[in-house]
């Protein structure tokens, strides 16, 4: 499920505005707005998030009498993250006999019309064949104490296997640790690999160290890409990471909850901005304490994190695992 909180303020003289609020096509409120209020709802999973607020009730007599009838959209929170309503909300004024129809970028509804906000479409799916990915892993699937999933930061690109954080985790914890990181993989491919692993293998702890979400939410999500093609992600970039995380948090929560039924699950990212956003959502209990990789020497390629980062990251993970035992 996804959580939404909609804060509305109102001012009126003779009559309150009528309001109908729909989220992803489902009506969540329909009635007069007589006072300021916050509407909190749980809404089902969605592929495309959209919200519409229909405002009615402004009459020609009110205009002649210079009467106010206003609904102001103060804030909309999706999965704990405030949406950018002023930047991306659109108010289509309509059914005003005294005005032509027009589109305005405002969250102050003082006429009749429909205010809308739609977030960019994103893919979160694991229905793909992982055979092409398994050849890029350091380890083959097998039962273990700790299974580690991620991209090149988990794999340890340009590092020896002994220098990776899964290897240091094994040394520090004394546990059997497997490295299933795949260089260039995106969040959908990582989800696919994790889901395939748990179908037939056991691990007491699963660690997911996620790349930037924009890497694999568009185009052909089955392809491994070392570099991100930003050309088909312009709207994601315009909307920002806030909308990306808010959009996916509900699906991430359900996925992680399912994995955690029979095992411990730890989730983290090396992207600071996204880490801070994740912590505002319901997946916060799964989060690994953030370690700033930019503070450490790089791997030989000058891009990925080096061995000292991996040693310190493994220390954090070892404490988390031992705490739960």
Q: Quick check: 74 pLDDT over 60?
A: yes
Distance CA 299, CA 36 (A): 55
Closest CA to 303 of 217, 229, 226: 226
**Which pLDDT value is given to residue 221?**
40
Phi, psi of 125 (to 5 degrees): -150, 150
Q: What is the pLDDT of residues 240-259, one digit of tens each?
A: 999 999 999 999 999 999 99
Q: How confident is the model at residue 231 (pLDDT cuts 50, 70, 90)?
A: low
Q: Which CATH architecture has domain 2-118?
A: Sandwich (2.60)
CA angle 180, 149, 240 (to 5 degrees): 140
CATH 3.40.50.1110 domain extents, the chain? 131-324
Distance CA 217, CA 281 (A): 19
* Burial label, 301 (beta-carbon count in 10 A; 0-12, 13-18, 19+): exposed
Q: How many other C-beta atoms lie within 10 A of the C-beta of residue 100?
A: 7
Closest CA to 22 of 71, 55, 57, 47: 55
Q: How confident is the model at residue 218 (pLDDT cuts 50, 70, 90)?
A: very low
In this prediction the pTM is 0.90
Distance CA 189, CA 236 (A): 19
CATH 2.60.60.40 domain extents, the chain? 2-118
Q: Quick check: 227 pLDDT over 60?
A: no
**Which pLDDT value is given to residue 16?**
97
The CATH number of the domain covering residues in 131-324 = 3.40.50.1110
Q: How confident is the model at residue 43 (pLDDT cuts 50, 70, 90)?
A: very high
**Which pLDDT value is given to residue 232?**
62
Distance CA 323, CA 117 (A): 43
Q: Which one has a higher pLDDT value, 46 or 118?
A: 118
Q: How confident is the model at residue 82 (pLDDT cuts 50, 70, 90)?
A: very high
Q: Quick check: 222 pLDDT over 60?
A: no
**Which pLDDT value is given to residue 124?**
84
Q: How confident is the model at residue 305 (pLDDT cuts 50, 70, 90)?
A: very high
**Which pLDDT value is given to residue 45?**
87
Least confident range from 95-99, 113-117, 290-294: namely 95-99
Distance CA 277, CA 244 (A): 10
Q: What is the pLDDT of residues 135-158, one digit of tens each?
A: 889 999 999 999 999 999 999 999
Q: How confident is the model at residue 216 (pLDDT cuts 50, 70, 90)?
A: low
Q: Quick check: 262 pLDDT over 70?
A: yes
Q: What is the pLDDT of residues 270-300, one digit of tens each?
A: 999 999 999 999 999 999 999 999 989 999 9
CA angle 215, 216, 221 (to 5 degrees): 145
């Amino acid at each position: 499920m996804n959580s939404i909180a909609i804060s509305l303020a109102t001012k009126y003289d003779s009559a309150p505005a009528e309001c109908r609020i729909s989220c992803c096509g489902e009506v969540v409120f329909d009635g007069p707005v007589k006072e300021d209020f916050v509407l909190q709802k749980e809404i089902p999973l969605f592929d495309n998030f959209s919200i519409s607020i229909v405002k009615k009730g402004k009459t020609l007599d009110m205009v002649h009498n210079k009467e106010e009838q206003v609904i102001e959209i103060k804030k909309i929170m999706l999965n704990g993250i405030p949406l950018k309503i002023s930047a991306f909300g659109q108010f289509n004024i309509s059914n005003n006999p005294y005005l032509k129809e027009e589109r305005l970028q405002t969250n102050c509804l003082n006429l009749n019309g429909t205010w809308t906000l739609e977030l960019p479409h994103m893919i979160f799916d694991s229905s793909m064949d992982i055979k092409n990915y398994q050849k890029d892993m350091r380890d083959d699937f097998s039962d273990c104490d700790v299974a580690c999933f991620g991209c090149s930061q988990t794999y340890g690109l340009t590092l020896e296997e002994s220098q990776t954080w899964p290897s240091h985790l094994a040394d520090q914890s004394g546990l059997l640790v497997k490295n299933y990181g795949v260089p260039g993989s995106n969040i959908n491919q990582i989800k696919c690999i994790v889901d395939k692993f748990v179908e037939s293998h056991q691990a007491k702890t699963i660690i997911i160290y996620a790349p930037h979400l924009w890497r694999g939410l568009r185009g052909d999500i089955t392809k491994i890409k070392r570099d991100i093609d930003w050309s088909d992600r312009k709207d994601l970039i315009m909307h920002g990471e806030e909308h990306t995380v808010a959009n996916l948090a509900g699906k991430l929560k359900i996925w992680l909850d399912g994995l955690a039924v029979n095992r411990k699950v730890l989730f983290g990212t090396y992207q600071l901005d996204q880490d801070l956003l994740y912590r505002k959502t319901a997946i916060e209990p799964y989060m690994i304490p953030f370690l700033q990789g930019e503070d450490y020497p790089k791997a030989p390629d000058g891009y990925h994190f080096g061995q000292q980062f991996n040693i310190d990251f493994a220390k954090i993970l070892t404490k988390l695992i031992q705490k739960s035992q």
